[in-house]
Amino acid sequence: MFKRILIPTDGSSASQRAILAGASLARETGAEIIGLTVTPPFHTLSADPEVLESTPAQYEQQARQQAERILADVESAAREAQVPYRIEHASGDSPYEMIISTARDAGCDLILMASHGRKGIKGLLLGSETQKVLVHSAIPVLVYR
């Protein structure tokens, strides 16, 4: 059924649940998992305290370490499910675009991602990367809640 499943994660508890569901689906279908996390690039002008307190080199190192921690959950779930996997760390201002381009470039036939379930004005103001992926992706998207 599926051969390659992209599982984007931000390290949240919702993403943790999606990772476990994705690993289970991969085991059942014989698919490979590709875990992805996206971090914003360093910007000279920023309101993000991590950027304001860092040099570009320090920020890159912190982002890499954070990505490793986040992606360790994908590795762990894939090993537990005994499915092939690889992990990717992308940097970009638009996570949904990075998710779609990674899925396309890796030849994924499914994107499985979490939804935080924000509704109303909070969802509108914060935006939803999941919603953006749903709207813009030509690759099927399975949203896990």
Map out the domains of the chain as residue ranges: 4-11+19-144
Given a cut of 60, is residue 24 above it in pLDDT? yes
pLDDT digits (tens, 9 = 90+) for 112-141: 999 876 555 555 544 589 999 999 999 999
pTM assigned to the model: 0.88
Considering 13-22, 44-53, 56-65, the range whose residues carry the highest mean pLDDT is 13-22
Mean pLDDT along residues 48-60? 71
Bridging pattern class, strands 110-114 and 85-91:
unpaired
Per-residue H/E/C for the chain: CCCEEEEECCCCHHHHHHHHHHHHHHHHHCCEEEEEEEECCCCCCCCCHHHHCCCHHHHHHHHHHHHHHHHHHHHHHHHHHCCCEEEEEEECCCHHHHHHHHHHHHCCCEEEEECCCCCHHHHHHHCCHHHHHHHHCCCCEEEEC
Contact in structure between 62 and 91 (CB atoms under 8 Å): no
Residue 58's pLDDT band (cuts 50, 70, 90): confident
Given a cut of 90, is residue 70 above it in pLDDT? yes
> Residue 138 corresponds to which amino acid?
A
Residue 45's pLDDT band (cuts 50, 70, 90): low
The CATH H-level (homologous superfamily) assignment of domain 4-11+19-144 is HUPs (3.40.50.620)
Residue 52's pLDDT band (cuts 50, 70, 90): low
